[in-house]
Structure 1
Amino acid sequence: MPATALKIGTLDDYLDRICEEIQLRQTQFITAVRRYTAVGKQLTERESPLERLSPAVFPQGSMLQRTTIRPMRLSKQVVPYDIDTVCRCDFDPYSKTSQSLYGSVLARLVANVDFQKRIEEAKKELGTSGKCIRLAYTDDDFYLDVVPTCKDPSDAEGIRLYMCNPDRWTSFAKPIETWRRTDPFRFAAWLQVRCEVGHRLVEKRAVASVAPVPPQEEADVKAPLRRVVQLLKRVRDVEFLGDKCRPTSIMLTTLAGRHYRGEESIADGLETVVNGIASQINASRPGRIAVPNPADELAP
């Protein structure tokens, strides 16, 4: 609810203030969008070696879902913020390996001297995952991940994607075995539905060569579910600081969306979500909880 409608000193008031504090600063948001746009321009430029693959660039993850939070420094450790970028190319996954597409996208990025430096900087810190190409901007506590993808031919709507599966980059693997499915746009559409604001997101993401990043929202107009997700992320960042096994953002977002019941109050929504997650964990003991991808529910 808007901050002006909150009674000062209530739990909702305190949580609302925390949400204000963990929002990206406008300068940070503008910086992220500028760098995303520059990378998109490099990948989609005409008469480049990549042009034959008709690349299209889209934001995904927290920037698309509007759940990004401000970077944090604690105990000499940094929790950066990021923007995940999909580079979708016309590519046949049944005859060509994901390693081949990864190499083509990487070659196009390193043709830019600054991007090459950013990629090398990220490699020194984290190595190479093969799933994405990371550009590190450590001075700004920011990084940008480029995910090479192609359309999943089995999806009638042409929305689901194939991304690289480096675990299968072997000499005996068939080309299609080097890919794995991902559905970031349907996931974002599902989250929109759970926020009860309708969804036309999938259709909007299917046109421009470099799709725009959704505009920055003020905390007091952000959907309660999105603020609950942001609070969970910040608690995760603090409690699992430096832990490589920390819960992923996609898992927290999925669990929050599953257990949210449309509460207008941030406090009520957070309580419902946390209690729901705790109950799900307890019911799953001694095993692990199942967190299926809700995007599958929207696929034909």
Structure 2
Amino acid sequence: MNIHARPVVTPQAEETLEDLADSLAIPESTYEKAAGSYKSLGDFLNRPASSIRQFDPQVHVQGSFGLGTVIPPSSDAEDYDVDAVCEFRKLTKSQTTQQNLKKLLGNEMFAYARERKMSKPVVEHRRCWRLEYADGAQFHMDVTPGLLNGIEQRALLKAHGLDDRFAETAIAITDIDHHAYGIVSADWPRSNPRGYLKWFVSRMEVIFEERKRELIRKGIRAGTEPIPVYAVRTPLQSAVMILKRHRDIMFVSRSDERPISIILTTLAAHAYNGEAKISEGLFSILNGMDRFIVRNADGSYLVANPSDPTENFADKWRKHPERAAAFFEWLEQARHDFTHASELSNKQLITEILAKSVGGGVADDVRKRSAARLGAPAVLTSGLVRNEAEARRAPPRIEGDRRNA
């Protein structure tokens, strides 16, 4: 475990980090467009003619769109990855197989795509079905079928002496590679996206509630309406967004080794201590996130899923030790880059340094925001930094905060 002193962050660096977080925040209209897409699918699955209506299918979002930590794609070649779950609430594991459940959802999604005259085919992945939207939309939606599994999950966690606070919303999901995929079995892969969201919000609960009240006070949101998580941006969410973009740029030519978002998000939420400023939250996270990685006696690593402690988000590190090495390499580089930038007082220099870590396009937007604070014209860079230029030539990213595909 490395102990790092928190740097003294200059006011100029604090403002630059705030501008950086604002530059990475996607428009609320994009969230609403994604929400409209999975609501539309949910309505379709419950229409009178639906072949699965009797099973009470309920669609809800998961992953970074649910957590409010989405960042824009690094290039026009990439899509927003919208992850959703379709829960069959009136069907059980004793009544079907994973394979049949997957087929039931797939048949309806094909029908949905035909009715909506979607030009791209529905594609099957390991755990989910993918809806590809028109090119201009720049997003696809991965929908994983699942069954309610809260009672079984609570019993499993209690038997192992593990935390079962979030077990109520657990689901059983499908996986083509699972040994019992084609047979009726009590043994299904597990997931708990709603439990994970509840845990994530609990890690920022005080400031999250404060900022919700602020939105209501300012009249931005009505007090009688439920306010979605994505509409309330906290330092934890901002820090996760910044670190994800830093990771994307650093691993643009090594995508197979890139630390997955669910590991970054989980460790960041563990290390966050309710700080009110982005810089304070960012450095609490950078300084402390590796403390929540367990090194087992056999040398393997454990990053437990807080909503299902029997799941190890770092399970693939055993087979691919280069991914573990890449995570620690990234962490040290992020500590260096943000510490260096935070101690400077020249905004132009701070932004130039950050441009190498987050991409020239984002850095130029930060310059514009900084200039707007001062009422002066922004001075833009002559071109993209090398890493972002590479990112624009990179293949599309399909990895989201959940591991569905």
TM-score, with structure 1 as normaliser = 0.77
Residue of structure 2 aligned with 1:34, choices 33, 36, 39: 36
The residue number in structure 1 matching 2:331 is none
The residue number in structure 1 matching 2:270 is 258
What do the CA deviations read for 1:147-187 (whole angstroms, capped 9, x no partner)? 1010014146742101112112668755333x211111111
Residue of structure 2 aligned with 1:233, choices 225, 231, 244: 244
Supply the distance in 2 between the matched residues of 1:72 and 1:115 (Cα, whole angstroms).
29
Residue identity matched to 1:161: I
Supply the distance in 2 between the matched residues of 1:195 and 1:253 (Cα, whole angstroms).
13
The residue number in structure 1 matching 2:152 is 154
The structure number with the bigger radius of gyration is 2
Preserved CA contact (<8 Å) 2:63 2:82: yes
1:165 aligns with 2:175: yes
Q: What secondary structure sits across from 2:81 in the alignment?
A: strand
> How far apart are residue 18 of structure 1 and its match?
0.8
> How far apart are residue 287 of structure 1 and its match?
3.9
> How is 1:150-299 mapped onto 2 (pairs within 5 angstroms)?
150-152=147-149, 153-155=151-153, 158-168=168-178, 174-177=184-187, 179-197=188-206, 214=228, 216-217=230-231, 222-241=233-252, 243-278=255-290, 287-296=299-308
Residue identity matched to 1:86: V
Identify unmatched segments of 5+ residues in structure 1: 1-6, 201-211
> Alpha carbons of 1:279 and 1:86: their partners in 2 closer, same or farther (altered >3 Å)?
closer
> How far apart are residue 285 of structure 1 and its match?
11
The residue number in structure 1 matching 2:377 is none
Preserved CA contact (<8 Å) 1:63 1:213: no
> How far apart are residue 98 of structure 1 and its match?
1.0
Supply the distance in 1 between the matched residues of 2:23 and 2:115 (Cα, whole angstroms).
32
Preserved CA contact (<8 Å) 1:88 1:151: yes
Quote the RMSD (CA, aligned, Å). 3.2
Q: What secondary structure sits across from 1:175 in the alignment?
A: coil
Preserved CA contact (<8 Å) 2:292 2:303: no
Q: What secondary structure sits across from 2:242 in the alignment?
A: helix
> How far apart are residue 275 of structure 1 and its match?
2.0
Residue of structure 1 aligned with 2:141, choices 130, 144, 148: 144
Preserved CA contact (<8 Å) 2:170 2:190: yes
More displaced 10-residue stretch of structure 1: 79-88 or 183-192 = 79-88
The residue number in structure 2 matching 1:13 is 15
Q: What secondary structure sits across from 1:101 in the alignment?
A: helix
> Alpha carbons of 1:142 and 1:183: their partners in 2 closer, same or farther (altered >3 Å)?
same
What do the CA deviations read for 1:81-138 (whole angstroms, capped 9, x no partner)? 2322111002221342111111000101111216684662x64xxxx32301111234
> How far apart are residue 291 of structure 1 and its match?
0.6
Identify unmatched segments of 5+ residues in structure 2: 1-8, 155-166, 210-225, 310-405
Preserved CA contact (<8 Å) 2:93 2:184: no
More displaced 10-residue stretch of structure 1: 97-106 or 35-44 = 35-44
Residue identity matched to 1:154: E
Residue of structure 2 aligned with 1:72, choices 67, 71, 74: 74
Supply the distance in 2 between the matched residues of 1:52 and 1:282 (Cα, whole angstroms).
44
Supply the distance in 1 between the matched residues of 2:181 and 2:39 (Cα, whole angstroms).
36
Preserved CA contact (<8 Å) 1:80 1:143: yes
Q: What secondary structure sits across from 1:69 in the alignment?
A: coil
Preserved CA contact (<8 Å) 2:38 2:84: yes
> Alpha carbons of 1:269 and 1:84: their partners in 2 closer, same or farther (altered >3 Å)?
same
Preserved CA contact (<8 Å) 1:131 1:166: yes
The residue number in structure 2 matching 1:91 is 91
> Alpha carbons of 1:33 and 1:250: their partners in 2 closer, same or farther (altered >3 Å)?
same
Supply the distance in 2 between the matched residues of 1:86 and 1:171 (Cα, whole angstroms).
18
Supply the distance in 1 between the matched residues of 2:176 and 2:274 (Cα, whole angstroms).
39
Preserved CA contact (<8 Å) 1:97 1:176: no
The residue number in structure 1 matching 2:100 is 100
The residue number in structure 1 matching 2:220 is none
Preserved CA contact (<8 Å) 2:62 2:193: yes
Preserved CA contact (<8 Å) 2:46 2:52: yes
> How far apart are residue 78 of structure 1 and its match?
3.3
Query: Aligned pair count?
Result: 268
The residue number in structure 2 matching 1:209 is none
Residue of structure 2 aligned with 1:52, choices 26, 51, 54: 54
Residue identity matched to 1:134: R
Residue of structure 1 aligned with 2:129, choices 126, 130, 133: 133
More displaced 10-residue stretch of structure 1: 136-145 or 11-20 = 136-145
Q: What secondary structure sits across from 1:49 in the alignment?
A: coil
> How far apart are residue 46 of structure 1 and its match?
2.7
1:43 aligns with 2:45: yes
